[in-house]
């Protein structure tokens, strides 16, 4: 009887072991990373404005940092700045740059809030001399590599008015007064 019971337990364990499938391990989450070491955006005037500037872009672990100077604004004026979907500034009014860069199909909003386009940034304010020193961290994007959130070869656009952060799809920010194609290096 003891031998029969041992054989039954062994057979049950053997059958159970053969019937189970090994647990699959989830693949490691692939986080897109920038492949470029740096980038530039040379803003040229659009829509008859005098706005221009040069922006340097530097990849960081959680996004891309933008720094530089933009001039040609009215003193103490406030303006929207966004990454737009197409790297095309050929139209005189920069409309060739398309809409805001929005690979996640989110609603427009203020940067660093739950709902916003990947290309949304906070407004910039010109000083008394009509220039703005840019020091912006754009989170959740990459520079180079071709990931859906890659801003290389897209457009950096400055607008005539401030972004209200609520009007869809572009924040009621007015004409495009400067445009640059973001070049990765």
CATH of the domain at 159: 2.60.40.200
Which whole number is the average pLDDT over 148-174? 93
Residue 109 contacts residue 116 (beta carbons within 8 Å): yes
Which whole number is the average pLDDT over 5-17? 44
In a domain, 27, yes or no: no
pLDDT surpasses 50 at 16: no
C-alpha dihedral (164, 169, 173, 175), degrees to nearest 10 = -170
In a domain, 92, yes or no: yes
R_g of the chain, CA atoms, integer Å = 26
Q: Count of alpha carbons within 13 Å of 141, Cβ hemisphere only?
A: 32
In this prediction, residue 107 has a pLDDT band, given cuts at 50, 70 and 90, of: confident
Extended beta strands in the chain, E state: 39-45, 52-60, 63-71, 78-79, 81-84, 124-125, 132-139, 155-159, 176-181, 183-184
- Would you state the pLDDT for residue 20? 39
In a domain, 121, yes or no: yes
Sign of the four-CA dihedral 111, 46, 180, 99: positive
pTM of the model: 0.81
Strands 183-184 and 39-45: antiparallel
Which whole number is the average pLDDT over 116-134? 92
pLDDT higher at 179 or 24? 179
The proportion of the chain whose per-residue pLDDT surpasses 90, expressed as a percent, equals 62
List the domain range (segments joined by +) for residue 117: 39-184
Cis amide prior to 111 (ω within 30 degrees): no
Residue 110 contacts residue 123 (beta carbons within 8 Å): no
Which whole number is the average pLDDT over 55-72? 96
Q: How many structural domains does the chain have? A: 1
Residue 124 contacts residue 132 (beta carbons within 8 Å): yes
- Would you state the pLDDT for residue 13? 42
In a domain, 25, yes or no: no
In a domain, 106, yes or no: yes
In a domain, 54, yes or no: yes
In a domain, 58, yes or no: yes
In this prediction, residue 135 has a pLDDT band, given cuts at 50, 70 and 90, of: very high
In a domain, 95, yes or no: yes
């Amino acid at each position: 009887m003891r031998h029969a019971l041992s054989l039954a337990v062994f057979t049950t364990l053997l059958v159970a072991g053969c019937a189970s499938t090994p647990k699959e391990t989830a693949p490691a989450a692939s986080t897109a990373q920038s492949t470029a070491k740096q980038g530039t955006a040379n803003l040229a005037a659009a829509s008859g404005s005098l706005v221009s500037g040069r922006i340097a872009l530097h990849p960081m672990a959680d996004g891309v940092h933008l720094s530089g100077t933009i001039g040609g604004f009215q003193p103490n004026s406030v303006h929207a700045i966004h990454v737009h979907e197409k790297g095309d500034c050929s139209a005189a009014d920069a409309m060739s740059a398309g809409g805001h860069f929005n690979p996640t199909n989110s609603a427009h909003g203020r940067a660093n809030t739950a709902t916003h386009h990947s290309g949304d940034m906070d407004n910039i304010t010109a000083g008394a001399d009509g220039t703005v020193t840019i020091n912006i961290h754009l989170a959740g994007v990459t520079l180079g590599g071709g990931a859906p959130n890659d801003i290389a070869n897209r457009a950096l656009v400055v607008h005539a008015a401030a972004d209200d952060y609520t009007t869809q799809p572009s924040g009621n920010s007015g004409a495009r007064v400067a445009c640059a194609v973001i070049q990765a290096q």
